[in-house]
Amino acid sequence: MPRKARVVERGLLRKGFRITYTHHRRFVYHTLDGEEPQTVSTIMSHGADRDVSDQLIAKMARQLHLTRRQFDDLIDCRLAQADYEAMLRRDGFIR
């Protein structure tokens, strides 16, 4: 199911992502300790009032090393930043 871009953006910002503006908004993860892992980021087009398609959400989830369900949990605050970070550490994406 498509999601509003502003909801996705707000959810990512709450979980430790920071925006870098280029021709798209790039969300780069920062750990609880402030590190910036090189392999954990995603891109979203400008336009906060638009819907993000299922295809783009699936792609964003893969870029963040999550399943679609885990991505939805991250955005909807059912997956805490500490738990997400523990998953990334366990799978070797961050130290």
Question: What are the residue ranges spanned by the domains of the chain?
Answer: 3-90
pLDDT tens per residue across span 71-95: 999 999 999 999 999 999 999 998 8
Q: Check if CATH label 3.40.50.10420 holds for domain 3-90.
A: no
**pLDDT given for residue 34 in this prediction:** 87
CA distance 2 to 21: 23
**pLDDT given for residue 48 in this prediction:** 59
Long-range contacts of 56-60 (CB under 8 A, 24+ apart): 57/2, 57/3, 57/8, 60/8
**pLDDT given for residue 25 in this prediction:** 82
Mean pLDDT of the chain: 90
Contact 84, 74 (CB under 8 A): yes
The pLDDT of 57-62, averaged and rounded, is 95
